[in-house]
């Protein structure tokens, strides 16, 4: 049975071993060489544990800086202080020049695309106007055929150019009073009797032979539609040019 190092009463030890105990601070401790008192041991052990904990915490903090050495931190701190002190003296004009120089290629590219887009829209508007003008002329020519003298056809077309406007909502030409082209033309004949031929021959006019009923530029076709014409000029200009040429309405695309 091992002997306890410290006891409250010497009688607690075996009788043969009581002579090895010495009284110290109200306790009886085993009198041996090389053994520290328990209180001293606990103090040292506690201090050692605290030191190990502090070392571990320090190691974790330093680990956050990666390969940065402690002496580098001082240099970095001085640099931060220097930049902070000079922050109020930054040359804003110089910065603007740098930004302008670096962004100028992007600005030029943006302006180029904007110009090209504007030119394209202008060209589309011109083609749409040409379609309207050509369709108005064909419309008047069809209405005037065999009804007014040929020498006055140009006058009728010029008058129509001023008075007949294309209404995209109705998808047809109307005058300022909302009259249809037929109603407008009949009124012109009444107001300008000198245009009217002395006699007209009866008989229905045949349609254009060989033309596809799907040609939106053909007035004799059920597919005739000015809105569709404008859409085709935008989406498929080559096809629009070909279909318009078939009915004698060339498009300069």
Residue 77's pLDDT band, with cuts at 50, 70 and 90, is confident
pLDDT digit string, tens, across residues 53-74: 887 887 777 677 777 776 777 7
Q: Helix count (H) and strand count (E) of the chain?
A: 7, 5
* C-alpha to C-alpha distance for 17 and 119, rounded to whole angstroms: 116
pLDDT digit string, tens, across residues 127-163: 778 888 999 999 999 999 888 988 899 999 999 999 9
pLDDT at 37: 63
Closest alpha carbon to 157 in 176, 129, 137, 139 = 137
Closest alpha carbon to 181 in 199, 196, 163 = 163
């Amino acid at each position: 049975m091992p002997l306890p190092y410290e006891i409250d009463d010497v009688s607690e030890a075996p009788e043969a071993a009581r002579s090895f105990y010495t009284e110290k601070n109200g306790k009886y401790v085993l009198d041996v060489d090389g053994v520290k008192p328990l209180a001293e041991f606990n103090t040292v052990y506690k201090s050692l544990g605290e030191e190990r904990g502090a070392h571990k915490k320090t190691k974790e903090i330093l680990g956050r800086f990666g390969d940065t050495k402690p002496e580098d931190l001082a240099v970095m701190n001085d640099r931060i202080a220097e930049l902070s002190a000079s922050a109020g003296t930054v040359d804003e004009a110089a910065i603007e020049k740098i930004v302008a120089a670096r962004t100028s290629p992007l600005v030029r590219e943006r302006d180029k695309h904007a110009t090209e887009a504007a030119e394209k829209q202008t060209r589309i508007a011109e083609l749409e106007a040409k379609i309207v003008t050509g369709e108005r002329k064909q419309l008047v020519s069809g209405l005037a055929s065999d009804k007014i003298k040929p020498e006055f056809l140009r006058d009728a077309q010029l008058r129509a150019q001023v008075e007949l406007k294309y209404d995209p909502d109705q998808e047809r030409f109307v005058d300022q009073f909302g009259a249809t082209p037929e109603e407008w033309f009949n009124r012109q004949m009444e107001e300008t009797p000198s245009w009217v031929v002395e006699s007209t021959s009866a008989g229905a006019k045949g349609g254009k032979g060989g033309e596809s009923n799907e040609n939106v530029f053909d007035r004799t076709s059920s597919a005739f539609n000015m809105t569709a014409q404008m859409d085709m000029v935008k989406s498929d200009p080559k096809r629009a040019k070909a279909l318009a040429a078939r009915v004698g309405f060339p498009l300069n695309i």
